Amino acid sequence: MSNEYDLAECQEVVVSAERLQRRITELGAQITADYQGRPPLLVGVLKGAFMFMSDLARAIELPVEFDFMAVASYGNATKTSGVVRIVKDLDIDLGGRDVLLVEDIIDSGLTLKYLRTNLLARQPASLEVCALLVREGLQESDPDLKYVGFHIPPDFVVGYGLDVAERFRNLPDIRRFTGTA
């Protein structure tokens, strides 16, 4: 399997850069209102959420803090392996903190379920989720997300932090990937 993909395999824009920024501004305003007096700790899920979390943090008008986790369930494929593992854990203690988990995309919900269980065991004061994208029709149960950027078709997408085999993260928008991995 090669990781040499052609940009021609991701020409169809699903969410434009302008729509992304407009919606992130709206999410930032909503989070600012919801967390007045208790700025949240933003926990970004690497690598996919780094661009979204960066823009989201700038749209939140509170003194937020950041930490990051890296989990693996895809490898270089376009379908989840079904096994989630922590590759990089948090540096900050979550005990008594208001935590906002920032995810790039919710597919099956397996990773989210794993992360929620793991993070709740650390006894935060609260734990909510902000997902940029939800791929429709792939979750076995309601993922119970407080903040969602966009619901998209169940196609595999790249751009704005999302990748296939580490490629296309730098695209300024979200695009459907038509190649195979």
Active site residues: 107
**47 cis-preceded (ω within 30 degrees of 0):** yes
Please state, in angstroms and rounded to a whole number, the distance separating the CA atoms of residues 171 and 40. Answer: 28
Tokens of 64: 């937020």
Tokens of 14: 């699903």
Residue 115 · residue 69 · CB < 8 Å: yes
Please state, in angstroms and rounded to a whole number, the distance separating the CA atoms of residues 16 and 67. Answer: 27
Residue 172 · residue 19 · CB < 8 Å: no
Going from the C-alpha of 90 to that of each of 79, 143, 164, the distances in angstroms are: 26, 23, 25
Tell me which amino acid residue 8 is. A
Tell me which amino acid residue 19 is. R
Please state, in angstroms and rounded to a whole number, the distance separating the CA atoms of residues 50 and 169. Answer: 10
